[in-house]
A and B are shown apart, each in its own frame.
Chain A
Amino acid sequence: MPPNTPPPDDKLEQELRRGVIVLAALSQLQGWQYGYSLRQSLAARGMEIEEGTLYPLLRRLEGQSLLVSEWRIEDGPPRRYYKLSPAGRALYGRLVGNWNALVETVGGLIADDGAGSKRKKDSR
């Protein structure tokens, strides 16, 4: 394995998390938020996202017209605030639907696997 390459287990976990980061961020952007406050709000709900991942993500989502942003001054220095654009709101709705279906399906698969393993053990 080349140096500085994370072990395969870490990489798979990262990939799994990466898939839901967009959904998590969009869920907290119904109203105006700036990067740091968004990260804090996600962390407070148990969703820790590295700052190096989240802040560039906001820019990319804005580049895809899913977020709108503006500079604002509210109790402190100027900060760039973001919230969902109409396109972002529509995408968020679709992602929530997909997520719920996925959780149900994968939850079922995991539950089946647990029952299957138990059956195999019992038959020995």
Chain B
Amino acid sequence: MMTPDAVVEAYVSDVARRLPRAKRNDVALELQALLRDELQGKAEMSGRAADEAMALELVRAFGAPEEVAERYRPAGFTIIPATRSARFAAVALGGVVLQWLGTLPTALLKEPGRELVMLGAWWLTYGLGALWWPGFMVTAAIAGGWVRHRWPPAPVSTWRPSSRDRDEINRTTWVISSIAAAFGIAALVGAPWWAKNFLPPAAAGVFEYDADFLPLGGAVVVAMWTLTAVSCAIVFFEGRWRALTRQIDLAATLLWFAVLTWLVVGPRIFVNDAADEAAKFWMGVVAAMVAIDLAVKIYRQMQRPRAVALAGIVKT
């Protein structure tokens, strides 16, 4: 059985040990005096002497010591703002999962029959080691939070758009890109002719297309060039992207990725082995770049506000 004073004292010391050292004693003395006043007031109201139960009821209503100490602390700085916490968690966990996916299969396939041992070894090395990534992110977030606290961002009155109008196109850049693309296409289509006329006689046939490739492969590639040229011409003359042209571009990029992947793993392109291998290697590189471009385009499309969200709007 504790005296009411002892309950208050224990509670206050529990709060005080969570406070900054500099103000601990002062706040504790004040809080103790206030809680005693409260307890006395409570006893007078109820018409009986204060006891342990009454003191406990009082301090429990006052709040958990952690919570109360938090209220006495001056506001600190935010490490991860609420608007970024979901993305932070996704990137932190996504990074760990990616590392696991990249290392676990290799570890398991290394010594068939000893999968369990390898799994244990993997967990103690790459498995736990992958946690460096969230640790790094938290450290960076702490540094960022401190910088934002020390040098707060510019007031809203100085806000400017962080990037230019993404739908507007730069026609000069497009003209230069189109000329470069035209040269590239001419080089590919005319490869046998260039080789025949400009390379030494021994290498004249190096870029000769495989006869089986041209009817299907050639037709697919020419169809893709045509589709890309038409969609680019529409955007060029309109001067900016709109929802439909963005969707056509997305579909074209997806098709390009499919075509390039097919060309890498599919039919022979050049008669010459070395030329065919080199062509497939570079097409693989281009396919990887197209995949990245596709991912960026899909991400940007998802970031845009969509009218579907307003489907239920009521016109008045």
A-B contact pairs, 13 of them (CB 8 A): A35-B30, A35-B34, A36-B34, A36-B37, A36-B38, A51-B38, A52-B61, A52-B62, A55-B31, A56-B68, A59-B27, A79-B30, A80-B26
Q: 13 more A-B contacts (CB under 8 A) besides A55-B30, A80-B30?
A: A34-B33, A35-B34, A50-B61, A51-B34, A51-B61, A51-B62, A52-B61, A52-B62, A55-B34, A60-B74, A79-B37, A80-B29, A80-B33
A82 to chain B, nearest CB (A): 10
Of B41, B61, B71, most A-chain CB atoms within 10 Å = B71
User: Which listed residue, A36, A56, A80, touches B41 by the CB 8 Å rule?
Assistant: A36
Inter-chain CA distance A77–B39, complex, in Å, is: 14
- The SS class assigned to the A binding surface is helix
User: Which listed residue, B23, B29, B38, B68, touches A78 by the CB 8 Å rule?
Assistant: B29
Size of the A side of the interface (Cβ < 8 Å), in residues, is: 18
| Binary flags per residue of B19-45, CB closer than 8 Å to A gives 1, else 0 | 000010011011101101110010000
Interface residues on B, range: 20 to 34
CB neighbours (8 Å) of A56 from chain B are 68, 71-72
A-B CB proximity, top 6 nearest: A56-B71, A36-B37, A52-B63, A52-B62, A80-B30, A35-B34
| Closest residue of B by beta carbon distance from A64 | B74
Chain A residues proximal to chain B, CB less than 8 Å: 34-36, 40, 50-53, 55-57, 59-60, 63, 77-80
CB neighbours (8 Å) of B68 from chain A are 52, 56
Inter-chain CA distance A34–B35, complex, in Å, is: 12
B313 to chain A, nearest CB (A): 21
A17 to chain B, nearest CB (A): 16
| Closest residue of B by beta carbon distance from A59 | B72
Q: State whether B33 touches A78 (Cβ < 8 A).
A: yes
B77 to chain A, nearest CB (A): 16
A21 to chain B, nearest CB (A): 12
Q: State whether B29 touches A63 (Cβ < 8 A).
A: no
CB neighbours (8 Å) of A50 from chain B are 61
Inter-chain CA distance A60–B36, complex, in Å, is: 21
CB neighbours (8 Å) of B38 from chain A are 36, 51
B69 to chain A, nearest CB (A): 9
| Closest residue of B by beta carbon distance from A69 | B30
CB neighbours (8 Å) of A34 from chain B are 33-34
Of B34, B68, B74, most A-chain CB atoms within 10 Å = B34
| Closest residue of A by beta carbon distance from B75 | A60
A33 to chain B, nearest CB (A): 12
B43 to chain A, nearest CB (A): 14
Inter-chain CA distance A53–B67, complex, in Å, is: 11
